[in-house]
Structure formats: structure tokens, C-alpha cells
Amino acid sequence: MAYREVGMWEILEVLRRIGRGEKRSAVARATGFRRKTVRRYVNLAVKLGWKPGLEDPTEELAVGVFRKLRPVPEGGRVGEVERLLLPHRAKIKAWLAPDEKTDSKRGLRLTKVHELLSRQGIDVAYSSLHRFAVKHCGFADSRRFTVRIAESEPGEVAEVDFGRLGLIWDPEKEHNRVAHALIVTLVHSRHQYVHVTHSQKLQDLIDGLEDAWTFFGGVTRRLVVDNLRAAVTKADIYDPVFERIFNEYATYRGFVIDAARVAHAKDKPRVERNVQYVRESYFRGENWLDIGDAQRGAIRWCMKSAGMRVHGTTRKRPLVVFENVEQATLLPLEKERFDPPFWGEYKVHPDHHVSFQKALYSVPTRYVGKTVWVRGDTKLVRIYLDGELVKTHERQTPGGRSTDYADYPEEAAPYAMRDPERLIREARKRGKHVGEFMEALLSGDFPWAKLRQAQKLQRLGQKYSSRRVDQACRRALAFDLINVRRVEQIIRGNLDRVDLPEGQRAETEVVQFPLRFERAAESFSHQQQTEGDDHGGSETIAQNRSETSEAIGHRTDAARPGELRKESEPW
């Protein structure tokens, strides 16, 4: 049997319902799981330390249950009845189809089909057969009747629906735009709130509900919604899938989402008829300046017109019933306004960051290359892997970056942080002269320009012994060779051991010998002739008149008068 992957969020929803005191059978119907599955989730959670009714389930608890259940062994019971009946689908469909031979307008009853299958050794529950026939055989119960259900308790349920109102002038767009009304109706009192908007997106739905709860002063325990795309990802009669952000919002406010069936207006009759009533009584025939003016008019209408009318069914004034009975039973509105987050699936890049809405956020090295879920609101960005929170950052504007340098490998952090002091401290641990060489290397106004050389010096200690590197740095410092490549050449040429006694290498100082061709400073003094004296002048004038210089060389080397060449004589 195929294994059905169950996410942490589904497990958490089951535990939350159980924690609120719902029966397991009701939770099974609402979530689509079997009662046996619900019981298994609860038992595992209890083994992990959860106390139903005394504490709310957390994401960490759901992750623990998720890991206990994974992987599911082959041979599970998910879809077993459906797989058993699929080979007989054509036969069941023929039994349910009208019989042309007998001119019958209908086929066999499903109870008869159930009996015929039992005779052939196919023993399944009637309810399972009914679901299979509806799903695969086009079976529909021909009975059409209805019953009036009991009235809900005060503060128990509210019904929500969108309805088209008409055109309203938009000053920003400078043309008329369609206006929609999000109508929230309290089932018990029939009191309602109208939120006017230009679209039916998730943000408009949440904003409308937040304004409605503020208007009512509390929250109902259950919310019946139509199959809006903003709220329901997958519409299903038994197992609807709710949009993640909207499901999170429901948890934040403490109400349970109850999705109506597709094309079943009777699942939310109180708000369904109100769409026409709101449009005709409140909107049409008025000259609204813009959507803000229309919203202010909607609040006045809800309080004075709709709230004070005598309701056709209850024969009571909705606002009076709400204030006297229902308002006190609503859940308190304690938390601040909900900040709708954005969810996305992203891959961690080799630079330890994920790009979320044009900003970068770091994660630890062990998550590089993996695909993670990122949740971001206006304040925080949370990063999840398999439902487990792995990193939290403050929200950055587009183009920004939030980097935790502790996420980098230890050897790469100083380079990324441009932290020369940390490299100097680590070098001093490897030797006195290594630390002095590192400090000289990283001195100056832009030390990070030499960080790559600093990293190479660290690697030399791994390639050669720390003692040899320290001796090579000592020799390089003596000759003012602040270059890591020259340090490596010293080690390769074994110059770190030259002219050093075997037992005194660490204490002996390297002495620099005088240069071979060094001349005295007096050798750079020059004689200068006076004006009018051609060659034979005897007076010498020093370039610096405050000082006098002596002739350089022996007297025997001076030129004799008879040996001087006259200007008229050739060379």
C-alpha cells in the first residue's frame, strides 16, 4: 500500500482540536483521519509529555510525533477499501445505471449493490461503498429533503462571504473600480459587519476579519467560510486543505475554520442571503466619493439600519440581541493585530544564505544545499526544515542582509567578518614570532587587504611544524620581509636553521650585517666653482655654507699644474 506523507501541520491541527476538548470522532470527521489514527497521534504526544487540556500543543511536540511516525511501514490502511473496489468499478457502475431492458429509470439501490458484493466475498462497510460510488461511479442520492438545524449558541459561529457591490471611483487609479463586500454575520444574533475592498485576496480577507473582530469586540469559536481561494487551497467535502497563512491566523485568533461544501449555499444560509440585502439596502442609490467614504457608510449602516431592523427569522433586533446576549460570550480580543506572514520554499545557497523577498538571511553550514521553508512577516523571518525551526532573523528591507557569523565555519569566520584582531590572537598561540609577523602583516589602514596572506600563514602551520614557521617568521622580521611567500621560501630553503646553534634556536637573535658597499656620508659632498673662475680656482664652496668639507683622498693624488690640459689643446 502506498505511504501517505503526513506533515507536521496536520498532526498539530489534530492535537489542537483534542486539546480544545473535541471528541476523537469529531476530530476524525473534520480532519479526514480515522479515529484510530487520531488516537495514535494523541498517544504518541502523551508519551512525549503532553497533557491534553492542561497545556496547548506546540510545534516541537508535533515535530516529535512526526518523527515517531516516519517512515510509515508498508502495508498501511490508507485507501485500502478504495483499492479493493477499483477492480469492480465497471460492475458497480452497471448495477447503478438505469436498466434499458426493463425500461427502468433508475438502477439498483446501493443497499442492493452492497448485498451483491457481499455474496461475492467483497465485504466492505456501506459508508465506504457509498463514498466510492459517489467518487467513481457518478452515484447521487435521489432524496431531496432538508431539516431545520438547532440554533447555535451565542458566540459560537460566524459566517463569512464575499459579494460584489458595484463601481466606486478610485482617486489613485483615476477611474472606477469594482468594490466587493466581505460580510461577517454572527449566526446567533444576526448582527453583521461589512468590509469594503477592491479585491478578494488573502490580505483583504484577514484585514476584513480583523476589523470585524474589533467591531464586535471579540472572536467567535468557529468560522464558516466559502471555498475562497484566499482561504481554501483544496476544496473537498471531507478533507479540505486550508491556506497555510489563513490556518495560522485561525490559530492566532483561536477559532476553528469550517469550510462550506462547493456549490452548497445552504451550508452558510445566514450570510448567503445577506449579500443581496447589503447590496440593495446599503450600496445602491448612494454617491460614494471613494472606498474610504463607502467604508464609513458601511459601519453606520450596520449599526443604525441593519442592526436595528426586526429580523425576519428571529423577529428581534440584531444589535440588541448582540449587546445583551452574544457580546459577552465572544472570545476576548487580547492579542495585537495579526501580521500576515509570507511563506516560501527556498534553497540554501553555498554562501550560507537564502534569498527571501530580495533580502539575504544566513543559516548554519549543515543546511547548505538543502531546501527550507521560510516564513516572514514585517518583524521576523523564520527558517524551517522538516517543520523544525532552525534560524530566526530580523526582517530586512529589499537589498539588505542579515548574517550571523556563527553560522560560518570557524576558519572562515574571521575572513568574512574582516576581523584582523582575531587572526592575530590565533597566530600568537602558534608562536611568539608568528604573532609578531601577523601583527606586522595586518597593520595599516586596510588590514583586510592582507587577510588571504594571513590565512596562508595559518595553513603553513598545518603543512610544516609550528616551530619551523615561528623560526622562519623570526628571520623574516629581522630582514623586514613582511610577505608570507618569502616566509615559505625560507622554510623550503631550510634558512630557518642557518647559522643557529642546535640548542639555541629559540633564544638566538638574528643580526643583520653591515652592507658591503656602504660609504661615509662625506663622500656625497661636492665642490662648486665660483663665478669667473674657469678651472684653476683654488677656493672651494660647500653646498651647505654652514659647513666646510675636506678634500677626499691623498694629497699625492691631486692634479699638478703642469699636467692640466689647456682649453685650446685637443684631447
pLDDT over 80 at 189, yes or no: yes
Q: Which of 294, 225, 282 is nearest to 259 (CA)?
A: 225
Q: Quick one: pLDDT at residue 197?
A: 94
Which pLDDT band, with edges at 50, 70 and 90, does 1 fall under?
very low
As a whole number, the mean pLDDT across the chain is: 80
Using CA atoms, how far apart are residues 70 and 4, in angstroms rounded to an integer?
A: 10
How far CA 437 is from CA of 170, 302, 430, 488, 510, in Å, comes to 70, 80, 11, 13, 15
Q: What is the pLDDT of residue 521?
A: 61
DSSP 268: S
Q: Please, are residues 232 and 208 in contact by the beta-carbon 8 Å criterion?
A: no
> How far out from the chain centre does Cα 63 lie?
18
Nearest residue to 31 (alpha-carbon basis) of 10, 47, 48: 10
Over residues 353-365, the mean pLDDT reads: 91
What ranges make up the beta strands (E) of 187-226? 192-197, 222-225
Cα-to-chain-centroid distance, residue 500:
61
Q: Return the pLDDT at 501.
A: 44
For residue range 115-135, what is the model confidence (pLDDT) as tens digits? 889 888 888 888 889 888 888
Return the percentage of the chain with pLDDT > 90, whole number: 24
DSSP codes of every residue in 131-147: HHHHHHS----------
pLDDT at 517: 54
Short-list 443, 160, 524, 186, CA closest to 328: 186
What would the mean pLDDT of 272-279 be, rounded to a whole number?
85
* Percent helix, percent strand, percent coil in the chain, to nearest 5: 40, 15, 45
Confidence band of 291 (pLDDT split at 50, 70, 90) = very high
Residue-level pLDDT at 525: 67
Which segment, 117-121, 292-296, 437-441, is predicted with the most confidence on average? 292-296
Split at pLDDT 50, 70, 90, the class of 513 is low
Distance CA(563)–CA(353), nearest Å, equals 87
Q: Which residues have C-beta within 8 Å of that of residue 97, sequence separation ≥ 6?
A: 107
- Average confidence (pLDDT) over 145-150: 62
In DSSP terms, 402 is beta-bridged to: 361
Asked if residue 353 lies in contact with residue 400, where contact means CB atoms within 8 angstroms, the answer is: no
Can you tell me whether residue 48 is helix, strand or coil?
Answer: coil
User: 411 falls in which pLDDT band (50, 70, 90)?
Assistant: low
Q: What CA–CA distances, in Å, run from 465 to 59, 496, 511?
A: 51, 12, 24
Residue 26 has pLDDT above 50, yes or no: yes
Task: Evaluate if residue 508 carries a pLDDT over 50.
Answer: no
The predicted model gives 447-471 an average pLDDT of 79
Of the listed ranges 91-100, 173-182, 200-209, 379-388, the least confidently predicted one is: 91-100
pLDDT at site 288: 92
| Helix (H) or strand (E) segment spanning residue 244 | helix 244-253
Closest residue by Cα to residue 354 from 411, 386, 396: 396
pLDDT digits (tens, 9 = 90+) for 220-247: 999 998 888 888 888 777 778 888 888 8
563 pLDDT band, cuts 50/70/90, is very low
Q: Is residue 164's pLDDT more than 70? A: yes
pLDDT at 454 over 70: yes
The answer to whether 245 touches 233, Cβ cutoff 8 Å, is: no
| Residue 147: band (very low, low, confident or very high) from pLDDT cuts 50, 70, 90 | low
- The edge-to-edge listing of strands for the beta sheet with 192-197 is 192-197, 175-186, 157-170, 222-225, 256-259
Residue-by-residue DSSP string for 532-562: T--S-----EESSTTS--PPPS-GGGSPPGG
Q: Which three cell numbers stand for residue 115?
A: 448485498
Question: What Cα–Cα distance (Å) separates residue 149 from each residue in 266, 307, 342?
Answer: 11, 24, 39
Q: Is the peptide bond before 341 cis (omega within 30 degrees of 0)?
A: no
Strand partners, 258: 224
Is the confidence at residue 8, as pLDDT, over 50?
yes
